[in-house]
Every structure is written in structure tokens, then in C-alpha cells.
Amino acid sequence: MVTADTPAGQRFSAFGRGSSAAFPPGSVFGERWIVVGEDTLIGAEVTLSAGMVPGQDLGPVPVLHIGDRCVIGRGSHIVAHHSLVIGDDVFTGPYVYITDQNHGYADPDMPIGRQMPHNAAVRIGSGSWLGAGAVILPGACIGRNVVIAAGSVVRGTVPDRCVVAGVPARIVRSYVPGDGWSPPSRPPAPVLPESVLPESVLPAPVIPESVLPASVLPASVLPESVPAGSGAVPVERIEGVAQAADPPG
């Protein structure tokens, strides 16, 4: 585990009191340009990187800031090159991807992986929640207390106090002061007590009496006699109940 007092924690530009990074870590490099606030929990296998490769000089100021009391979910990737700021009290689900750099593709004849990338600052407002598998693209500016639905791909500006979902993410709910959340949550279907359910929708008995046999072996299916020489034991009826007769001789 990495804390402010461990050698790994002291490699960061700042690693706040009460913060920790779980073991095993993901790929972590460029710590000199990474700031982690206080009381923040970074899950196992989380990648935190500044720059494209270890040892790259990114200048005099940090490029990745994670605020106080944040929780970064297991397996998430936070990859900064230019400016990526996560506010206080931001929680993410597992396997979230956040970056401020994307591949360029201006030249249609050159492999995209060999073209110069493009940087655009990313901001995630305090108090927001990013669901599992969300992707935050370069240039995204997310407001305060925003819900990013699981699996969403976010770009552009997202205002405060709203819910976004989809690919690309769109606003599906927003908070209106004085009116609350709009549209309102869909109410759950009513559950009626059994006493008010009509008989037509109540389940019938598993085996209705009308189909139960009068006896285990109804008299109507018993033979009157058996063929001679068959060796079978004949039966006789006594008050509607079939019983084996004594064998002859």
C-alpha cells in the first residue's frame, strides 16, 4: 500500500495525509507531476500516469490533480499529459478511463498511432460520480454533483447537477431549483395485497380436485378377468376397491 509516509508516496508532487493506494498498483509513472489530495482512496490496479513515458519532463507544474476525499475504482486509468483536474469528493466505479490526450488523424495516409496527439484540458467537478466503465475524453468539462452513467462516453461541457448517459453522453435528468429533478423518477409499479386481487388472476390449486382420481387404481381400469394360462393373478372388486384374489388351487 502506498501512503504519504512510504517511499512510493514521497515520489509524488504531493500525496495527502490519510490517502492510500491499494496493492497491487497499475502502471504508475511521472509521479513528480501528480498531486493526490487528503483522505483519498485509490483502488487496486489503478493506472496513474503523467506523460507518455517514464522520465518525460513535463515542465515546472503538475499536470494531474486529484482532490480530497476521492475514491478511484479498481482498474481505472487516469492518464494526463497537459492538464487534468479532479475535484474533491469525486467517486468513480471500476474501470473508468480519463485522459486529456487523444490520437490525431489529420493525415489519412499515415498510421494514426504515429501521428501527433492532441491535448485538451479536462475538469471534473467536486461531488460527482462516474459509473463503471465511463470514458472521459479530452476537453470534457464536467460540473459539480454530476452523475455519469455506467458505460457513458463524455465529451464537451456538462452542467452542474445533472445525469448524463449514453454514447456520446447526453443529459437525461437535471436538477431545477424549486422543482427538483426533472424528469422525476419513474414511480415503481403498485403492489396490490392478495385480498384485493380478483379471483380471475389468483393462481388455481396445483392439482384441482376435479382432476384427482377417486382411488389410486380406479375400478374402471381394472380387468374383469385375465387370460387362462397367463400366470397373472386375477382381481376382484370389494366395495369399489380392487384387490388380488387368492390364486386357484
How far apart (Å, rounded) are the C-alpha atoms in residues 170 and 152? 9
Number of domains within the chain: 2
**Catalytic residue positions, numbered:** 103
Domain carrying residue 33: 2-105+113-182
How far apart (Å, rounded) are the C-alpha atoms in residues 2 and 24? 10
Lowest mean pLDDT across 11-15, 140-144, 172-176, 241-245: 241-245
In a shared domain, residues 57 and 174: yes
In a shared domain, residues 126 and 47: yes
Lowest mean pLDDT across 140-144, 173-177, 179-183, 229-233: 229-233
The verdict on whether omega for the bond into residue 208 sits within 30 degrees of 0, i.e. cis, is no
User: In the predicted model, what is the mean pLDDT of the chain?
Assistant: 86
Residue 11 has pLDDT above 70, yes or no: yes
* 188 lies in some domain: no
In a shared domain, residues 178 and 202: no
In a shared domain, residues 177 and 209: no
Residue 207 has pLDDT above 80, yes or no: no
pLDDT attached to residue 183: 87
Q: Residue ranges of the alpha helices (H) in the chain?
A: 7-10
Residues 6+ apart with CB under 8 A from 44: 22, 23, 24, 25, 74, 75
For the stretch 69-106, pLDDT in tens is 999 999 999 999 999 999 999 999 999 999 999 999 99
In a shared domain, residues 89 and 121: yes
* 75 lies in some domain: yes
For the stretch 136-146, pLDDT in tens is 999 999 999 99
How far is residue 45 CA from its own chain's centroid?
17
In a shared domain, residues 122 and 235: no
